[in-house]
A and B are shown apart, each in its own frame.
Chain A
């Protein structure tokens, strides 16, 4: 049931409102606000360690912000009780970076897991649904393999089938393209788009893979050091003159994101100063 306070017509499924988050002394996100429109595929792009994955964990309620609000379908995630959070999570799917398939179960049982845990469906019906999901990712024939027998790309697709097992309204992808070969890359990108449209879901893709993700998304956020640098439709972003975006999209080594990690002057580290002085 929806929260009666929130209008049904709210265009955004997920809203991040002025959220700050940090571990102990290290600040990861500061005053971040983002909106994810219903039915759209939105990408969050940024370098490694910029807080992208943290954003997804905040949406999924695995982390709680120090301040601000995260709303999913009108519910404030960070104020939900455990049971309410679990109820909300049944409507979410998250694809983890390396699939996170349960290694002690075969492919079939992995995909059937949520159906068996949460629905009272008969085994026959679950079997049909599992085969349907596996067929959607093109791996119906792999149903009795163990995760250790799958290639990286196959594991990712099985994990995708598991993610959509209960037809979630929100699908989150954590680096879905990391470590895939070129064919798997294209397949994964197309699957994300097609599944989103077929399920009428909303998707969030956290990635640093520009070439694969820009063609399939509706909106992009560029994040650096825990705050938004730029946002917009993918077309204009590709030709953006904002230095960070340009460096990121074109993969330039140096720019606003420096090549060198902060260090003392080179000469000093080499001990040259003393000799010269």
Chain B
């Protein structure tokens, strides 16, 4: 018997239609899941200890990769920035270039991408394995809602950790830029800091960066907990879900970044 689908028009339409319908269905399911998570978030705040514990796993354990990456990104920015700026005789503006790139874009985005691959994948794998080994089922049988007890604390921990991690990334990046630009190359110390201070606007740059990282935190953590909760309870299911978390969350960060930037920096020079 020939099992291959013939390339007839209805089959072609079906081949496009199925993933689209499936994708929309999953988005609806994820939205419903988010509403449930928010509705059962009471426990995460009443027993804040639960959320703090998860913040250790998602936030504190991500520190090393965030800090080291921040430092190196800042150092590279220092090198590249100096190389370009000194051609126009404005090497003193290095501090501005480094800090604005980090606070506005690289801080939230790169920290978000690292967070998705370090913490997001760990959250998905953990929840997926809890499902595969019937721990979530057991919890339900003990009259404890897994969404309130397992999902919501992890969700809020991710949402709170992400802006802090992005801020630390930016801070380390600026330090990296300073090390390369001022200490190594010899850009004027005073100019580096004072120009930075004058150019970086609290609301326009810093706050918008914080808002971005907060939005990325929601997106990454929601995708991570959802993929884990929705994973097939098998080894393949959990590994597939972990991969999907990293891919989907990274794309979501980049897509959301464009949308947010377009709204935030309208008409800003």
Binding site for B on A (CB under 8 A): 60, 62, 86-87, 89-90, 92-94, 96-98, 100-104, 113-114, 117-118
Asked if B206 is an interface residue, CB under 8 A from chain A, the answer is no
Closest-by-CB residue of B relative to A88 is: B143
Interface with A: B97-105, B134-142, B223-231, which one? B134-142
A-B contact pairs, 23 of them (CB 8 A): A60-B141, A62-B140, A86-B143, A87-B143, A89-B141, A92-B141, A94-B138, A96-B134, A96-B137, A96-B138, A98-B134, A100-B133, A100-B137, A102-B130, A102-B139, A103-B129, A103-B135, A113-B144, A114-B144, A117-B142, A117-B144, A117-B149, A118-B143
Binding site for A on B (CB under 8 A): 126, 129-130, 133-135, 137-145, 149
Contacts of B149 in A (CB 8 A): 117
CA A60 to CA B135, docked complex, whole Å: 15
B141, A94: Cβ atoms closer than 8 Å: yes
Chain A min CB distance to B245 (Å): 19
CA A80 to CA B137, docked complex, whole Å: 18
The B interface, classified by DSSP as helix, strand, loop or mixed, is helix
Contact of B133 among A89, A93, A103, A114 (CB under 8 A): A103
Contacts of A117 in B (CB 8 A): 142-144, 149
B133, A90: Cβ atoms closer than 8 Å: no
A90, B143: Cβ atoms closer than 8 Å: yes
Contacts of B140 in A (CB 8 A): 62, 89
Contacts of A92 in B (CB 8 A): 141
Chain A min CB distance to B42 (Å): 14
Contacts of A60 in B (CB 8 A): 141
Chain A min CB distance to B191 (Å): 51
Chain A min CB distance to B97 (Å): 44
Which 3 pairs show the lowest CB-CB distances between chains A and B?
Answer: A100-B138, A100-B134, A89-B143
CA A103 to CA B143, docked complex, whole Å: 19
Chain B min CB distance to A52 (Å): 15
CA A92 to CA B138, docked complex, whole Å: 11
Closest-by-CB residue of B relative to A98 is: B133
Contacts of A114 in B (CB 8 A): 142-144
CA A97 to CA B126, docked complex, whole Å: 20
CA A97 to CA B143, docked complex, whole Å: 19
A100, B135: Cβ atoms closer than 8 Å: yes
CA A102 to CA B141, docked complex, whole Å: 13
CA A97 to CA B138, docked complex, whole Å: 11
B142, A97: Cβ atoms closer than 8 Å: no
10 extra A-B contacts, CB within 8 A, seeds A89-B143, A113-B142, A117-B149: A62-B140, A86-B145, A89-B140, A90-B143, A93-B141, A97-B134, A100-B135, A114-B143, A117-B143, A117-B144
Closest-by-CB residue of A relative to B140 is: A62
CA A104 to CA B54, docked complex, whole Å: 11
Chain B min CB distance to A152 (Å): 13
CA A104 to CA B129, docked complex, whole Å: 11
Contacts of A113 in B (CB 8 A): 142, 144
